[in-house]
Chain A
Amino acid sequence: MNRENTNENMLAVRNLKVVFPMARGFIRAVEGVDLDIKKGESVALVGESGCGKSVTSKSLMKLLETPPALMRVDGLTLDGQSLKDYSEKKMQDIRGRHMSMIFQDAMTSLNPVMTCGRQIDEMYMRHQGMDKKKARKHTIRALELVGVPEPRSRAKNFPHELSGGMRQRVLLAMAFACMPKLIIADEPTTALDVTIQAQVLEVLRDMQKTHGVSLLLITHDLSVVSNIADTVYVMYSGKIVEKAPMKDLFRKPYHPYSEGLLKSVPKLSDEGKKFVQIPGSVPHPMKKPPGCYFHPRCPYATEKCQETMPPLEKLGKDRLVRCFHPLDNASKEAKTS
């Protein structure tokens, strides 16, 4: 992988909007999301269930069913190539070859009546025009790379014969099969046990680093992010509320929601019994509050927050935050002066 033009964006999304029309109104699942992923970078999109993170990832792959969903995007470019107006047929060449996706539940995303090997073979046969034998050779190599023991016989197993961790590895092998430019991993470890989660994350990180693939990791678990991401986007109720380099965010979050999320992750180093909580719950997607969506749960909310939605503004180096009262006072003063 050439690393000369690492500053260039691998994926650029501008003003992505997704709306689901319902009987009694609209669900605005994604409201104007901008995403930038550099070459070889791993980016995490963090948010709770219902914040629109999975819808975002699906609409990037154009996997969202339209209708019922309505999707609009001002710009969607993958490695300089605009995918905005691509037809379904053209997208089929892109998917798997240039960008691929890893889903949460390996059992439901693998075909139960095909052997695992066969499903990976298909990738090579479809995208690289290999014959069956050659494809199988590549499949075995791909399984070996993700750390499946005895890949030759595992390739002959059906998905139900493998354990959860092995199935997730098969999905990883499938995603990395054609060495795509971008991999979207939607909650890749949520269904796994902690010790297996550690294994799978290690494989994912190694593969991403050694092959220089860009990664978009979608998760609700901030502790997973700390292990793997370079940049973090925090999403709340369909909008990006904060973007920051991972270490900066964990050291000093600017948005009150990011702060709350970070604090509510229980830590082993904690003493005492009280858990830090964010009051209230995520707003219903059809009844979003006026003004800033987070204000009913925000400890710093003022009248201004109840009326107007704050813009996503630059604050400090490489950081964006959508808040009238960002938590970092030093840079606030720097901005006004």
Chain B
Amino acid sequence: MNEKASGNAPILEMENVSVDFPVKGIAAFFKRQKISAVSDVSLRIEKGQTFGIVGESGCGKSTLANAMIGMVKPTAGRVTFKGKNLYELDRKSFKKTRRDMQMIFQDPFSSLNPRFSVYELISEPLLIRGDATEEEMKVRVEELLELVGLAKDDINRHPSDFSGGQQQRIAIARSIILNPDFLVCDEPVSALDVSVHAQILNLLTEIQGKLGLTYVFISHNLAVVKNICDRMVVMYLGKVMESGLSKTIFQNPRHPYTLALLSAVLDTDVEKEKEQIILEGDIPSPIDPPKGCRFWQRCPYAMEGCKNVPAPEVEIDPDHYVACHHVNGFPKTDLPEGYDRPVKSEEKEKANMPHPLKAEENVEDKTDA
């Protein structure tokens, strides 16, 4: 899989894409606050590959995927799909391009209309495109039902008659009926039972083999990503921390955040004693993210310089990019004094407080001690 993919033309390219959302409220307006969901991300997805996006909730992985398929307009940067800039197309050609990119969502039960039958659900995209006859549609739906492993008799049943795994199969059938080239799977198995995870993942790989699809696979489970993805990016608070071939990243993870994520994956292996890196605190708010490295508040190796100097992505091995001062060393520009001192843990804790707006209120609470 890896060898076959390399050297292919990119199907989708993103250059310095940023997505910001406005914060509601007058105060936020005057302070010019914004939520920086994705910040300065560049990536290249080659045809036939599976591209993984990994990160915790709130790190911008879904926003990034939405920006890829034209559901969220980036505030800056370019998204090029098959050589065309997605956000410069006129309405008609955008709609046409959009047919080639589809999405599978996390929770199949809420993404399928409960009043539709399986036939209506799966054929709806064809109906909207409007160039197929009833006969053709029926044939096509039956074909797809077989492909995703459902019975032909299921065609008139409703989503509530199916188990979670089967519902996800319907959702998959629905997303591939227009023969897309590019499929975004947003946590396709995390709402399902453990014993059906493998079924859906195997089905996805099988379909990819048959139809030559390109996948973008969003997940927080690193063990799944390892098995299914060719390339991956690790995101934290809207920035890419590490990217490259997934093989290389798993063999030789360099960024402290990747290391922590890997060690947080629980295993069923009882023989081997694993050392866990437990990160302190929570993912900070994407409103006013840190100026420097976005990970410094939780990083066990954080240095004074990390707070202010942004960490660029540097290619440390061929095709393996890491954005970390600890790995790459600080850039040779004018650095603040004492930049290489480790940050004190109290300072990290302070920066980690969940609500910066509430900080002032906490001063006067000696009364009830």
Contacts and interface: CB of A to CB of B under 8 A. Distances in A.
B is a partner of A: yes
B365 interface: yes
B265 A268 contact: yes
A300 B209 CA distance: 30
Given A48-B194, A49-B193, A157-B358, A266 B282 contact: no
Among B262, B264, B266, chain A packs the most CB atoms within 10 A around the CB of B266
Contacts of B199: 277-279
A223 B197 CA distance: 14
B194 A281 contact: no
B207 to A, nearest CB: 13
A282 B267 contact: no
Contacts of A306: none
A268 B222 CA distance: 7
Contacts, number: 155
Given A150-B353, A193-B56, A270-B223, A281 B264 contact: no
A199 B278 contact: yes
A220 B192 CA distance: 11
Given A161-B354, A268-B267, A276 B198 contact: yes
B270 A246 contact: yes
Contacts of B197: 264, 266, 275
A274 interface: yes
Nearest to A270: B227
Size class of the contact patch on chain A: 35 or more
Contact of B250 (A48, A162, A166, A268): A268
Contacts of B265: 194, 223, 268
A22 to B, nearest CB: 15
Nearest to A221: B194
B266 A223 contact: yes
Contact of B166 (A161, A223, A281): A281
Nearest to A284: B163
25 contacts: A48-B194, A136-B368, A149-B349, A150-B353, A153-B365, A157-B355, A161-B355, A195-B278, A198-B264, A202-B276, A222-B268, A223-B265, A224-B266, A226-B268, A250-B268, A250-B270, A264-B197, A265-B268, A268-B223, A269-B269, A270-B223, A270-B227, A272-B227, A275-B198, A278-B199
Q: Please give me the 4 A-B residue pairs with the lowest Cβ-Cβ distance, nearest first.
A: A223-B266, A277-B198, A275-B198, A153-B362
Interface of A: 48-49, 133, 136, 149-150, 152-153, 156-157, 161-166, 193-199, 202, 220-224, 226-227, 246-247, 250-251, 260-262, 264-270, 272-279, 281-282
